[in-house]
Amino acid sequence: MKTRLFIWILLPLMLLQSFSTVWLWTVFELNRDYIARYECINRFNDNALACRGQCILMKKMREHEEKEQKNLELRIIDVVFINNTQDFTFKNTALYEDTVERLLPVYNEDYSYNPIFTIFHPPLV
C-alpha cells in the first residue's frame, strides 16, 4: 500500500519536471494578452507591436534553460562524487588460471562412512 502511494505521489512530480517547458509555454499562451499589455518590454515601442509578449516568453525560456543547465551540472558533479567514493576490487585470477570451482561443499575429512552391503533382515522370533 505504501509503495503505491509513493508511486502516485512521485509520478506527477516527475512528469511535472519533464514537461516544465510545455507548462511554461501553456501559461504564456493563456495569459498572452495580459503579458503583451502590461509586462512586455516593447509595449511602448510602436515599431515592435508584433511582439505580443514573445520577448517575455523568450526571457523566461532562457532563464529556465540556464536553471536546467545549472541543475544538470550539479547532478553530474554529484554522480562523479558518488562514483569516486566507491572502491571496487576485482579478482583477476579467474582470467589466467584454469581453476574449476566446486559446486558441492567441502566435506570434513574426519567424517567416515562404513557401508554395509548386506541386506537388512528383521530379527527372527
Do the Cβ atoms of 35 and 28 come closer than 8 Å?
A: yes
Higher pLDDT, 66 or 21: 66
Q: How many domains does the chain have?
A: 1
Position 48: which residue type?
A
Residue 93 lies in a domain: no
DSSP 44: T
Residue 94 lies in a domain: no
Residue 107 lies in a domain: no
Q: What is the pLDDT of residues 29-77, one digit of tens each?
A: 998 888 888 888 877 777 666 788 888 888 998 998 898 888 877 776 6
Residue 24 lies in a domain: yes
Do the Cβ atoms of 23 and 16 come closer than 8 Å?
A: yes
Q: Which residue segment(s) compose the domain that 46 sits in?
A: 2-86
Residue 120 lies in a domain: no
Cell numbers that stand for 107 in this block = 566435506
